[in-house]
Structure 1
Amino acid sequence: EIQAAYFGDTFMIWRADDKTSDWKMKLDGTGPWVIVDVVGQMKPLDVKDGDAQFQIGMSPVYVLTKETYDKLTR
């Protein structure tokens, strides 16, 4: 079971079970993009032709542009 929502330009997603899986999504707009875990660890997100793929599990992850991340963490 997957839970997901947008909060402004930030996409948040997690699984409501004890499984992990790959998640694919189309990202609109200009990157670079990052993925941030629930404890705030940020990593660059590889995006090819607007498509991103990353792993999701029980802990939420957040997908947003690096620019938005920088604004939120000043």
Structure 2
Amino acid sequence: MEDTPLQHDDTDAMMTTTEPGSSVSPADDVEYVAIVAPYDDAPDECTIFPAGLSEEELLTTWVSAAEGSYVSLDEMV
């Protein structure tokens, strides 16, 4: 899987879900946007959503996590 580090500010970071040599269809090749919002009085928050959504779709198609509530994928294996 492509490993694109998230940035520690309000700029976008792009990620894809496919691994080199994987056998997925083009429909499975989804690009995601990750935005990290820094807060002075709370943990930073990362929001991830598929790229290219309409404003209406974006209202219900996202996930956010506060810094400290997630772990590296390497730690899960």
Q: Greater share of strand residues, 1 or 2? A: 1
Greater relative contact order: 1 or 2 (C-alpha under 8 angstroms, separation 6 or more)?
A: 1
Structure (1 or 2) with the greater helix fraction: 2
Is the radius of gyration larger for structure 1 or structure 2?
A: 2
Q: Give the TM-score taking structure 2 as reference length.
A: 0.28
TM-score normalised by structure 1 residue count: 0.29
